[in-house]
Amino acid sequence: MPTPVVRVQEKGQVTIPLEIRQKLNLKKGDLVTFVETEKGVVIKPAEVVVIEALDQIGQALKEKGLSLEDLIERGREIREELIEKGYNLSGEKPTKAVESLKTVT
């Protein structure tokens, strides 16, 4: 496929050629990101950026010897501590409403 050339419009808008939109499965209203490189700009569907970020997080956890389950459990512990502090529950038996906040995933 030859490299398409498009004109930048008055407000900085460009039209992504149909073939590229189809290949990337881009529809009206989809979000894209612009990644600046030394040679220009790369346009990526936002979902690709999210997947790449999750992969990087997973790799960082793996390097530190942590699993996703470890991270989720620590998040639950932190949430429980915040609820106890926020509702001044040190040593008191929590109400059912507060207890239900602790179990929200």
- Residue 23 counted as domain residue: yes
Assigned domain for 1 exists: no
- Domain identity same for 60 and 17: yes
Per-residue model confidence (pLDDT) at position 68: 79
Same domain, 52 and 90: no
The arithmetic mean of pLDDT across residues 29-39, rounded, is 89
Split into its structural domains, the chain has a count of 2
pLDDT on residue 52? 78
- pTM over 0.75, yes/no: no
In a shared domain, residues 56 and 75: no
Domain limits for position 104: 67-105
- Residue 47 C-beta-side C-alpha neighbours within 13 Å: 5
Q: Is the pLDDT of residue 91 over 80?
A: no
Q: What angle do CA 18, 54, 31 make, to 5 degrees?
A: 30
In order of 29, 84, 87, 96, the CA distances from 79 in angstroms are 35, 9, 12, 16
Task: Quick: pLDDT tens for 41-85.
Answer: 988 887 776 777 778 888 888 888 888 788 888 889 898 888 888
Structure tokens at 32: 């894209």
Q: Cα separation of 98 and 77, whole Å? A: 14
Average pLDDT, integer, range 26-44: 89
